Amino acid sequence: MMDSSLIRARALRKDYGTGEGLVRAVDGIDLDVAPGERVAVMGPSGCGKSTLLHLLGGLDRSSGGELWFHGRRIGQLGERALAEMRRKEVGFVFQAFHLMEELTAQENVELPALLAAVPPRAARRRARDLLDRVGVGDRVGHLPSALSGGQRQRVAIARALVNEPVLVLADEPTGNLDSAATLDVLRIFEELHATGQTLVIVTHDERIGVTADRLISMHDGAFVDETRLSGGRRSLGVLIGLEERASE
Amino acid sequence: MSRLRVILRLAGRDLRHRPGEAVMLVVIMMAATAALALGLLLQGTTAHPYQTTREATSGPDVLATDFPSGAGTPVSPAALKQIAPLARAQGVAGNSGPLPVAFPVLTFNGRTDAVLAEGRNLAPAAVDQPELTEGSWVHADAVVIERSFADALGVHAGDRITLNGRPFTVAGVAVTAAFPVNGVGFLEGSSQWPNPGLIWTTTADAETLATRQYPLGYVLNLKLTNPAEAENFADRFDPGGYTDNTGGLYVIPWQLISHQDGLVIAHEQKILLVGSWLLALLAAGSLAIVVGGRMAEQNRRVGLLKAVGGTPALVAGVLLAEYLALAVIAAAAGVVVGWLSAPLLTNPGTGLLGSAGAPHLTLPVIALVVGIALAVATLASYIPALRAARTSTVDALADAARPPRRHARLITYSARLPVPLLLALRLASRRPRRVLLGGLSIAVTVSGIVAVLFARATLTLSPSGPAGTADPGLSDVGFISQTARENRVLLLITAMLIALAAVNVIFTTWATVQDSRHAAAVTRALGATAGQFITGLSAAQILPATGGALAGIAGGYALFTAADQGASASQPPAWWLVTAVLGTLIAVAVLTAIPARLAARLPIAETLQGDGT
């Protein structure tokens, strides 16, 4: 890959099952994501958008097509290299948070740094800084069970950022949140975008989708529409709308 | 009644739904119950062959011996005068002897051993005429060898042996009820001739085999008018009691000889009983681990049961019924296996005619074995069943994992360790009870292995072994034969312990895999490699196994001394113990690698989509 895309997918495919039970979750997708871009993929439940995100982040392997990340063909990477990629270059934010229940907010955030062999003291410092940055600096010692949904998602975002990844992949990041918490998360993404962080957000919530630079619609595993948006203006409008709802 | 029927139907359905696990549980419990049944069934099983041999050989009711009390000490004329009148004592109905006994050294095929050479007439004796099983009776320069001794020595009719360097032909092989088989215990008190084999020669040959160092002794076989009075008769003439035959007049009743024959399997019985308790402990651990692991998988089923109106008591009842049913099946199979395999161990050797056959199954033995199996199953499944019954229906339907334990200090400390160890400590600390069970399982197994090592060291190095005989150059074939029997039982128990422990290790690892699949998927999504995860998962089992193995050394020593009732134990060489511990840890590492590798293949994305926190 000679262009400047951070992600480039060509005829990307993911199948489950065989024969009559074959399900094509991702069906021949072409996608380019430039560094610093914020892309939203929208579609109804079961359209394959989460599967696409897992393929982009190296959590799953494709059944066909080509996928490049930072100039490397992901399909040719071994398990170890994929793990290293996830550790150093990709941050995940999940709808269900996926925090370790027995670890405090700070311990959850510092875990990827420890996996990346960052010295414990430095990992702890980074975790505290990030938790301050996402607004839960006063909850560092709390277990996930003692945090609200919004707070948990902010901890998960801090965890995704701890190794300074070039790409953050968010899978329905506000799917389990109320309006106020959704607003908080969107503000954080807004700040991240402002610092040049590349973001790919998968959502079925149109209010979130329109905050992106580019909105891609997905149906039955394929892209059906793509719209470039004037991100700042749209984001502002959505945020104002959400603020109003949150204050009701 | 209908409630009970519902419980039984649901339990039956679940067992049929997972036949593999049910079979595995039955096998685990069956191994323990079979060993237990075997240990309980062995009591008194040699009496029948002794009686058969006694009748066939016209065995004595009382045996009187008068042996020299030390090297170079001739039997005094007074002592001869003391033994001879016994033949005319009140209550004696018949006799053979006094017969001269020499104490030569036998050599065959490069092996030497001490023997009692009893001088016999060519004509059959009225009391104790050995029953030939091979060849012909004694004649000049031709001897007959007692069968258990011949068997241990590997000698047959027609072979050539030497006695004190003088060549003899083996005329035949015979059995007797006058001396205990293998000579075990009978002459243990004698410092010069502690455990001899038995042969018969002509009277003239016996007399010529006597030496200045080892002069002749005498044997008198007596038949009483009332054989039941044999013990009283012996007490009358040997008031010192028949503990050790250290020389001088020694009078023993047939009951003691029968008892000595029983001692041949007494050690096996002790080993089996101790081993069966260890196996029962391991089986309890296995069950607790398997049941705990199954509960993690059955969460959703519990939720469904509750959602359709099942009470907590019904849920607990279904789960308990499953394991109690399996325990009953396993105990029944275990009793049958123990009963059928008992003859393999109760064979008294070739010293007696016939065999003990399968011991009688008694109601108390069956009740005890089944009762213990039910107790083990109840203990192992009660807590998981209760926990499942108390799980909230919503959580169970959502298949939410039981919240893991948090150990703050350990989490902080583990942050400084390499990633595999970090993962290992955190995985282990999530379920401390499972870690404890895993460690205990290894401790029990290593205790068994170490006890076996102490037994081996004691058997080969103890003063009653070959090194302790009058002449260190003599190989005590009777002792070696007995040791071989005990080794066989030790090996059987050790193999069963190791097999059960291996099953435990695999189950523990798999239960950890099931339980931590969400944590593992998250950790791998965050960048841990499959290799780090596999190593971490293995290390999570090896850490408690190390503690268990070290505790097992102390446990094994305690077990051996307790089983040996305070008898002195010989310390096995240090490298035996080091090898046992290292071998155990290597085995644990290899066994955990299998489920750990399978776990590493679980798709991350799929797991994450199924769970949520």
The size of the A-B interface in CB pairs under 8 A is: 96
CA separation, residue B335 to residues B23, B46, B331, B342, B370 (Å): 17, 20, 6, 10, 9
In the predicted structure, residue A2 carries a pLDDT above the cut 70: no
Distance CA A222, CA B107 (A): 92
Residue type, A160: A
Q: Choose the closest CB to A107 out of B411, B522, B605.
A: B411
Quick check: A102 and B404 CB within 8 A?
A: yes
Higher pLDDT, B493 or B467: B493
CA distances from B261 to B53, B264, B345 (A): 12, 6, 14
Q: What's the pLDDT band for B241 if we cut at 50, 70, 90?
A: low
Chain B contact for A223, CB < 8 A?
no
Chain A residues with CB inside 8 Å of B428's CB? none
Q: What is the distance between the alpha carbons of residues B170 and B176, in angstroms, rounded to a whole number?
A: 17
Residues constituting chain A: 248
The winner for highest mean pLDDT among B71-75, B199-203, B366-370 is B199-203
Closest-approach residue (CA) in chain A for B415: A120
Chain B, residues 572-611, CB within 8 A of chain A, namely 603-605, 608-609, 611
So what's the ipTM on this one?
0.85
Sheet of strand A214-219: strand arrangement: A90-94, A167-171, A198-203, A38-42, A214-219, A222-228
- Which long-range contacts does B355-362 make (Cβ < 8 Å, 24+ apart)? B355/B49, B356/B45, B356/B46, B356/B47, B356/B48, B356/B49, B357/B48, B359/B41, B359/B42, B359/B43, B359/B44, B359/B45, B361/B41, B361/B335
B152's CB contacts (< 8 A; 6+ apart) are B182, B197, B477, B478, B480, B481
Cβ-based contacts of A84 with chain B (< 8 Å): 527, 529
Task: Report the chain A residue with the minimal C-alpha distance to residue B609.
Answer: A96
Q: In chain B, which residue's Cα lies nearest the Cα of A53?
A: B605
The predicted pLDDT at position B406 comes to 82
Task: Tell me the chain A residues in contact with residue B405 when contact means C-beta distances shorter than 8 Å.
Answer: 102
How far is the alpha carbon of B523 from chain A, nearest alpha carbon, in Å? 8
- The encoded tokens of residue B280 equal 């029962």
Q: Which of A49, A52, A101, A109 to mutate: most B Cβ within 10 Å? A: A101
- Kindly indicate the confidence band of residue B48, based on its pLDDT and cuts at 50, 70 and 90: low
Of B530, B533, B540, B534, give the one whose Cα is nearest residue B508.
B540
Please indicate whether, in this complex, the C-beta atoms of A111 and B523 are within 8 angstroms of each other. yes
pLDDT band at B13 (very low <50, low <70, confident <90, very high): confident
In this complex, the residue of A112, A123, A124 whose CB is nearest that of residue B526 is: A112
The predicted pLDDT at position A239 comes to: 56
Q: Which residue has the higher pLDDT, B153 or B45?
A: B153
- Reported as a single tens digit per residue, the pLDDT across A109-119 is 999 999 999 99
Helix (H, G, I), strand (E, B) or coil at B354: coil
Average pLDDT over residues B420-446: 88
HSE-CB at B190 with a 13 A cutoff on CA atoms is: 27
Lowest mean pLDDT among A165-169, B53-57, B65-69, B94-98: B65-69
Question: What does B468-522 look like in DSSP terms, one character per residue?
Answer: GSSSTT---HHHHHHHHHHHHHHHHHHHHHHHHHHHHHHHHHHHHHHHTHHHHHH
| B526 neighbourhood in chain A, CB within 8 Å | 86-87, 92, 111-112, 115, 159
CB contact under 8 A, B612 and A117: no
Whole-number Cα distances in Å, B143 to A142, B19, B129, B182, B312: 90, 62, 14, 18, 78
CB-CB: which of A99, A112, A114 is closest to B422? A114
A97–B416 CB contact, under 8 Å: no
Q: Which residues of A touch B523 (CB under 8 A)?
A: 111, 115
How far is CA A150 from each of CA A110, A144, A236, rounded to the nearest angstrom? 19, 11, 20
Q: What is the mean pLDDT of chain B?
A: 79
Lowest-pLDDT choice from B26-30, B138-142, B576-580: B26-30
Percent of chain B with pLDDT over 70: 78
Beta-carbon separation of A112 and B522 below 8 A: no
Confidence at residue A53, expressed as pLDDT on a 0 to 100 scale: 92
What integer pLDDT is reported at residue B546 of this predicted model? 94
Q: In this complex, is the C-beta atom of B612 within 8 Å of any C-beta atom belonging to chain A?
A: yes
Terminal CA-CA length for chain A: 50
Tell me the average pLDDT across A25-34.
93
Asked if A169 reaches chain B (Cβ–Cβ under 8 Å), the answer is no
Is residue A1 scored above 50 in pLDDT?
Answer: no
Task: Give the closest of A94, A114, A144 to B608, CB-based.
Answer: A94
CB contact under 8 A, A60 and B531: no
Chain position carrying tokens 């030790």: B490
Given its phi and psi angles, is residue B248 left (phi above 0), alpha (psi -120 to 50 degrees) or beta? left
Tell me whether residues B526 and A92 touch, CB distance under 8 A: yes
Q: Which residues of A touch B518 (CB under 8 A)?
A: 98
CA B13 to chain centre: 38
CA separation for the pair A143, B540 (Å, rounded): 23
What are the pLDDT digits (tens) for A201-223?
998 887 788 888 999 999 999 99
Rounded to an integer, the average pLDDT of B225-231 is 88
Q: Which of residues B79 and B553 earns the better pLDDT score?
A: B553
Q: Which of A50-54, B273-277, B469-473 has the highest mean pLDDT?
A: A50-54
Does A102 sit within 8 Å of B405, measured CB to CB?
yes
> Could you say which residues from 518 to 537 on chain B have a Cβ atom under 8 Å away from some Cβ of chain A?
518-519, 521-532
- DSSP letters of A128-168? HHHHHHTT-GGGTT--GGGS-HHHHHHHHHHHHHTT--SEE
Q: Would an 8 Å CB–CB cutoff place A163 in contact with chain B?
A: yes
Q: Which residues pair with A143 in a beta bridge?
A: none
Residues of A in contact with B404 (CB under 8 A): 101-102
Q: Which 73-102 residues of chain A touch chain B by CB within 8 A?
A: 79-80, 83-84, 86-88, 92, 94-102
pLDDT at res. B201: 95
Among 3.40.50.720, 3.40.50.300, 2.60.40.1730, 3.40.50.11720, what is the CATH number of A35-63+79-247?
3.40.50.300
- The pLDDT of B520-526, averaged and rounded, is 90
Which residues, numbered 121 to 140 in chain A, qualify as contacts with chain B under a Cβ-Cβ cut-off of 8 Å? 123-124
Using an 8 Å CB-CB cutoff, list chain B residues near A115. Answer: 419, 523, 526-528, 532
Minimal C-alpha gap between B9 and chain A (Å): 34
Substitution target in A102, A152, A157 with the highest count of B β-carbons within 10 Å is A102
Contacts of A143 in chain B (CB under 8 A): 406
Name the band, by pLDDT with cuts 50, 70 and 90, for residue A89.
Answer: very high
Is B421's Cβ below 8 Å from some Cβ in A? no
B123 CB-contact burial (10 Å; exposed 0-12 / middle 13-18 / buried 19+): exposed
Q: DSSP assignment, residue B405?
A: P
Q: Min CA distance, A187 vs chain B (Å)?
A: 23
Q: Given this model, what pLDDT does residue A29 score?
A: 93
Average pLDDT across chain A, whole number:
87
Please answer yes or no on whether A96 and B613 come within 8 Å at the CB atom.
Answer: yes
- Give CA–CA dist A87/B525, Å, rounded: 8
Tell me phi and psi for residue B185, to 5 degrees. Answer: 85, -30
Say yes or no for a CB contact (<8 Å) between A115 and B430.
no
From the candidates B526, B532, B601, B611, which should be mutated to test the interface with A, based on the most A CB atoms within 10 A? B526
H or E element: which one contains B373? helix B363-390
Lowest-confidence segment of A68-72, A238-242, B275-279, B532-536 by average pLDDT: A238-242
**Shortest CA gap B418–chain A (Å):** 8
**Candidate from B416, B529, B531 with C-beta closest to A120:** B416
Q: How far is A82 from chain B (nearest CA, A)?
A: 8
Q: In a mutagenesis test of the B interface, which of A26, A61, A80, A115 is the best target, namely the one with the most B β-carbons within 10 Å? A: A115
Q: Which residue has the higher pLDDT, A191 or B514?
A: A191
Between A60, A112, A143, which is nearest B605 by CB? A60
With contacts defined as CB-CB under 8 Å, which chain B residues touch A97? Answer: 612-613
Average pLDDT of B577-604?
88
Partner-chain contact A102 B430, CB within 8 Å: yes
Q: Is A106's Cβ below 8 Å from some Cβ in B?
A: no
pLDDT band (50, 70, 90) for residue B547: very high
Tell me the C-alpha distance between B120 and B81, whole Å: 20
Q: How far apart are CA B546 and CA B553, in angstroms?
A: 11
B422 touching A (Cβ < 8 Å) = yes
Q: In this predicted model, what pLDDT tens digit does every residue of B472-493 receive, in sequence order?
A: 555 555 555 566 667 777 777 7
